Structure 1
Amino acid sequence: MGASPALPSRPGSSVPSFADQTFTPPERIRNFCIIAHIDHGKSTLADRMLQLTGVVDPRQMRAQYLDRMDIERERGITIKAQNVRLPWVADVDGVSTEIVLHLIDTPGHVDFTYEVSRALEACEGAVLLVDAAQGIEAQTLANLYLAMEKDLTIIPVLNKIDLPAADPDRYAAEIAHIVGCDADSVLRVSGKTGEGVKELLDEVVRLVPAPVGRAEGPARAMIFDSVYDAYRGVITYVRVVDGRITPREKVTMMSTGTTHELLEVGIISPEPQASVGLGVGEVGYLITGVKDVRESRVGDTVTSARKGATEPLVGYRDPKPMVYSGLYPMDGSDYPVLRDALDKLRLNDAALAYEPETSVALGFGFRCGFLGLLHMEITRDRLEREFNLELISTAPNVVYRVEMEAGEETIVTNPSYWPEGKVRAVHEPVVKTTVIAPSEYIGAIMELCQSRRGELLGMDYLSETRVELRYTLPMGEIMFDFFDALKSRTKGYASLDYEEAGEQVSDLVKVDILLQGEAVDAFSSIVHRDNSSAYGNRMTGKLRQLIPRQQFEVPIQAAIGAKIISRENIRAIRKDVLAKCYGGDISRKRKLLEKQKEGKKRMKTIGRVEVPQEAFVAALSSESAGDKPKK
């Protein structure tokens, strides 16, 4: 990578700075990432690497340094993969050599697997991190298989060896069994104390191959991430595969054909630093001053505008949304703000999909596709924090394929799109689920999975006390509270991972919620026929408590087609029309009551039920919608 401003001098340090360097030869570069299950210590280990290589001033150092977003620091999870360039001195063939390490810290949650897969494309090696007190977990395996598919060099590492509950010998044997290495070759480190981190970096230099590319060929760089800055426009993160990219040259985005001048080229170490350019195997950022977020696409190839490459690099597979939910602004005038906010957020989150939609009850909004419930929750939180929006989200649902008796086929991403007429078959998405837990909880896990219409695919013992169960489950059944139920039945010891596994035919129906005979599209839902009555009872009971009383009686009904399956009534408010009658003839009072009765009857025929926004928010919140019926 190109020369960059000198870092603070570190007297007596053996670690080099990036000052006064030209393009780094590829043989002195190592690109690697850290992959692991949630909370196994990736970000803490990255902190120790930052400290050990001296790129962060001790006064500025803080825990989880690479987690930049407030929401990441509050929740204690990594949402965005972060790359950083580290200087290191290592012994290569008996010679002390200055090495450039490119580290990518990745998320651990299954909803952000797409972030991990993109990070793996920019690397030649992966540090597989396992908690020495918990061992291999579901997402550990999922990330390991992703890295093996990309043919990366795997370095198995046990973290948290300083914990009293750590059992490194036992879990080293477990890792060796799965990775296919010797238990003695599994490195042991402590991200908290820094023990073993120097040895790990030396092992990365020794085992991870240097990047390969044609230095003299036409420039080709892969966009693996981007972010929008209000002052500088789109900032694009790239990994250079061939050639060189330098400031002030003109580059072309190969998928869109647009040409831009590079205002700045730089590296992240760990803050952005301008450099003289990027060479083969280097990771950095480009700034073109472009404000249109649609002109920088993740997976696109950047090349020189003059004598550029003709063949683009193989891009990323587009992620397929698993869960759909409607997002509507509380204030209808915020619709354009929400549209711009989604455009800018998608630049930083390539897994987010959205299209405009209209709801009779909620007005104009967007139908958004997410990779899971946590992804949905984080996206909504970011929109509200970063763009000062107040949003209502409809109950999440998956994508169904409905075949009609007449032969036509409809893709249903929203219950309001459910086709009219006689349905022949409904296809729902299913996922292949992996659960890893102590063997004493096998019965509880099987009972839970079978109650959610799961089919057992197989079961393997990873060790004498830990078992891996594989199930096929409908996506709709694991969306809400499945993970919570799994954790509570296994006292928190189980871990869960899932991946897409096609679709199956199921007996699904659309349940409409009617207020005074009118269907409210925002409350409709697609559920299994066996659970329809329970869903109807739950929604009508909840709405009876949330909707304020009107001047007339309001029936709340749940219906499947023309069949009513549940009903609740909101009693009318009775105005005291006799307040002004003090004694006197009873016929006067009777006349007033009859007049009131006639007025209410007339009002009922033309009256519309007023549903406050708070009722929508409470009824459609994922917590309340997630209560599954007991079977």
Structure 2
Amino acid sequence: MNIRNFCIIAHIDHGKSTLADRFLEITNTIEKRKMTHGQMLDAMELEQERGITIKLTPVRMEWNWRGENYILNLIDTPGHVDFMYEVSRSLAACEGAILLVDATQGIQAQTLANCYMAIENNLTIIPVINKVDLIAADVPKVLLELENAFGIKPEEVISVSAKAGTNIEKVLEAVIERIPPPKSISEAGIADADDEFKALVFDSVFDSYRGVVAYVRVKSGEIRRGDAVYFLYNKKKIEALEIGYFKPNYAPAEILRNGEVGYIVTGLKDVAEARVGDTIWKSGVLNKIDVSAAKPLPGYKEIKPYVFASIFCVEGNDYTVLRDALQKLRLNDAAFTFEPEQSTALGQGFRCGFLGLLHLDIIQERLEREYNLDLIVTAPSVSYIAVYTDGHEEMIMTPSQMPDRSHIQAIKEPWVKLELISPKEYIGNLMKLVQDRR
């Protein structure tokens, strides 16, 4: 099968989106004259302003190589630690990953984290060193780092300049030669396999005109427009109102086959009903077997927020506007949570959960910019778990929720297992920094 599903993983600002732009140019997915600004897959205004990727973006490219036509499904991913959940979604839909490293900076924290995650998912890794045209580039040093960190041999590494377009075709050739084509779930040795349609939901967005649009990776069988499908986790049966590919905008099609990445317009009114990581089955299959016996596809695991902050409006009359705005942002951000909160000093507001400080900053800026709200945001904090004397546990997010000490057996706090790698001359200062930040 001439399909390759892959993503680009790297530390922030190592050139992922620029490399994706060169792929779009070479494969003529987007004409060069239409490349009006860089980072074509970064559609959000904040992404373009900050020069970072926030939301994952899939795109289908078609390329002729050695007389054969190939379908290349690329999923562009964020590099910042706060958006690791977006990376984990991408990996669940791919067979391979391009590991991109900046020739001037070498291996960074997210390079390690993303690569280990890809290896855990049994993805084929294609190592690429970017920005080799810069004066500060030190390719031999980066080659040594890749070998020491991941056991990657220097001859496996491709040196490129995404900005100048140097050696980009070699990367596409490596994608075709090294990354295996997608297998059906029966070929992958997963139980409960047959040739009927099953797909993994790796993202979902809300369209005000068409409802929830589920982004899927087809794992077996095929689906046609108008087919009845069933969401296994939420037990929702719907009709596929429209199906298609990402080019990178929606491109309707009549059929999605095994191994392909595409979208399904569901008509659902709540994005929570198209849960990320859910399995979509064709309804006809479930008529033949017991629904309780149907097994979900392995892949994406849901992530929980780590940082919490309260958001209040300066003007009390804006409460309903804030509530509606949070609901709309929640539609397209599965990792963002919120619940109503009452403060004696600040009035009505919401206790919100985020993946990190950048995630909080992005949400706050979008609320202020897109909805014209004047906000008060409390200092971010983490949640604790209170273990009661009778054995049951409860999550505590604010001091006011803390129960009487006589009812508490223990209090658990989040811990981070941290590994710091540093040259010898910095160890003393590093130890002091860690102790001061405890």
Output one character per residue of 1:550-570: Cα deviation in whole Å (capped at 9) or x when no partner. xxxxxxxxxxxxxxxxxxxxx
Offset at residue 420 of structure 1 (A): 3.5
Show CA shifts across 1:438-488 (max 9, x none). Answer: 5543322221012123xxxxxxxxxxxxxxxxxxxxxxxxxxxxxxxxxxx
Equivalent residues of 1:32, 1:126 under 8 A apart: yes
Residue from 42, 50, 54 that aligns with 1:75: 50
Residues of 1 paired with 2:390 and 2:85: CA distance?
39
Distance, in Å, in 2 between the alignment partners of 1:107 and 1:177 is 25
Percent identity over the alignment is: 52
CA distance in 1: counterparts of 2:392 and 2:216, whole angstroms? 44
- Could you tell me which residue of structure 2 aligns to residue 182 of structure 1? 153
Contact between 1:300 and 1:315, CA under 8 Å: does it hold in 2?
no
Query: Which consecutive residues of structure 1, in runs of 5 or more, have no partner in the other structure?
Result: 1-26, 454-631
* Cα distance in structure 2, aligned partners of 1:217 and 1:56: 34
Matches within 5 A, 1:107-122: 107-122=78-93
Deviations 1:256-304 (A, max 9, x none): 2222222211111122111112110111111123323332211111222
- The AA in structure 1 aligned to 2:272 is R
1:253/1:301 contact within 8 Å kept: yes
Partner of 2:199: 221
- Does residue 126 (structure 1) correspond to residue 97 (structure 2)? The answer is yes
The AA in structure 1 aligned to 2:208 is A
Shift of 1:436: 4.7
Question: TM-score, normalised to structure 1's length?
Answer: 0.64
**Native 8 Å contact 2:130 2:162 kept in 1:** yes
For residues 316 and 276 of structure 2, the distance between their equivalents in structure 1, rounded to whole angstroms, comes to: 31
Does 2:126 correspond to 1:155? yes
Post-superposition offset of 1:232 = 2.3
Give the structure with higher Rg (CA).
Answer: 1
Question: 1:45 and 1:436 mapped to 2: Cα distance?
Answer: 29
Whole-Å Cα distance in 2 between the matches of residues 348 and 301 of structure 1? 19
Matched, 1:84 2:59: yes
Query: Cα distance 1:360–1:106, how it changes in 2: closer, same or farther (>3 A)?
Result: same
Q: Give 1:421 shift.
A: 4.0
1:297–1:347 CA contact under 8 A, matched in 2: no
Structure ranking higher on relative contact order (CA contacts 8 Å, 6+ apart)? 2
Q: Give the SS at the match of 2:132.
A: coil
> Are residues 404 and 87 of structure 1, via their aligned partners in 2, closer, same or farther at CA, if it must alter by over 3 Å?
closer
Change (3 A) 1:405 1:276: closer
Query: Among residues 9, 12, 20, which one is paired with 1:35 in the alignment?
Result: 9
Q: Give yes or no for contact 1:157–1:189 (8 Å, CA) kept in 2.
A: yes
Match runs of 1:245-394 below 5 Å: 245-308=223-286, 310-314=294-298, 316-394=300-378
Between the aligned partners of 1:248 and 1:139, the Cα distance in structure 2 is 42
User: 1:357·1:365 contact (CA, 8 Å) conserved in 2?
Assistant: yes
Q: Using the alignment, how far apart are the partners of 1:270 and 1:402 within structure 2?
A: 47
Structure 1 residue 364, shift from structure 2 partner: 2.2
Unmatched segments (≥5 aa) in structure 2: 187-193
Deviation track 1:148-171 (CA, whole Å, cap 9, x = no partner) reads 110100111111000001111121
Provide the aligned C-alpha RMSD in A.
2.2
Contact 1:220 1:312 in 2 (8 A): no
Question: Residues 315 and 331 (structure 1 numbering): CA distance in 2 closer, same or farther, change over 3 Å?
Answer: farther
Q: Which amino acid aligns with 2:125?
A: I
User: What is the identity, as a one-letter code, of the residue corresponding to 2:180?
Assistant: P
Secondary structure in 2 matching 1:328: strand
Q: Give the direction of change, closer, same or farther, for the CA distance of 1:214–1:110 in structure 2 (3 Å limit).
A: closer
Q: Distance in 2 between matches of 1:330 and 1:278?
A: 49
Residue matched to 2:414: 429
Does the CA contact (< 8 Å) of 2:92 and 2:299 recur in 1?
no
Give distance in 1, aligned partners of 2:298 and 2:197: 15
- Give the letter aligned to residue 86 of structure 1: M
